[in-house]
Amino acid sequence: METPFEFRLRVRYAECDAQGVVFNARYGDYADLAMNEYIRTLFGDYQKLLDRDVDIQVVSMTLNWQAPARFDDVLCARVSPGRVGNTSFGVKVDFHRYGCETSICSGELVYVVVSPASLTKQPVPHFVRSALAEGAPGIVISHAGEDVSTGQS
C-alpha cells in the first residue's frame, strides 16, 4: 500500500501550552495547513477552483489524540481521501512525529462544496470527485526544514 499524501511542519514554541505540549486547538490549524497543501497538490493554485465556481467550506472536524507533541517536533500530517457524497466530501488526517509511525492525533474533516458567489451548496463536480478518488499518494510537502538526506529533524 502506497503512503498517502504527507505534509510536514515543525512545532513552534508559541503553539505549546503550559504543560509544554502542542495545545489541542492547534491541530485544527495543522489540519487546515495540510488540507491547503493537499488541495494545491490536487488542483494547483486555489484560485483555479474559484475560477471554476467551486469553493469548499469545513462543516465538520473531528480529532482524536493518542500522544503529545512538543516544541521543535516535526509533525507529519498524512491526508487520504474519505467518503464523497452529493455535495460534500471527507478526508482523513493522521499525525505522526517524523521518523515514527505511532499516531499522535487522527481525525476526519468534512467539506461542503459551495458556489463562491452565492455560498450555496453545489454538487461535487466530476473533476473534484475524480481528483479526490485518486488522491496524492507518495507526495510529500515539507515546511519543516528537516534534513531528509539524513533522516534527522
Cell of 57: 467550506
Alpha carbons 74 and 45: distance in angstroms, whole number = 25
pLDDT in tens, 1-38: 578 999 999 999 999 999 999 999 999 999 999 999 99
- What value, to the nearest 5°, has the Cα angle with vertex 107 and ends 100 and 116? 125
Cα dihedral 33, 37, 38, 43 sign? positive
Between 2 and 43, whose confidence is greater?
43
Q: How far apart are the first and last CA of the chain?
A: 25
pLDDT in tens, 51-63: 999 999 999 999 9
Alpha carbons 80 and 151: distance in angstroms, whole number = 23
- What value, to the nearest 5°, has the Cα angle with vertex 128 and ends 82 and 25? 50
pTM here is 0.90
pLDDT in tens, 61-86: 999 999 999 999 999 999 999 999 99
Query: What structural domains and CATH numbers belong to the chain?
Result: 5-142 (3.10.129.10)
Cell of 35: 488540507
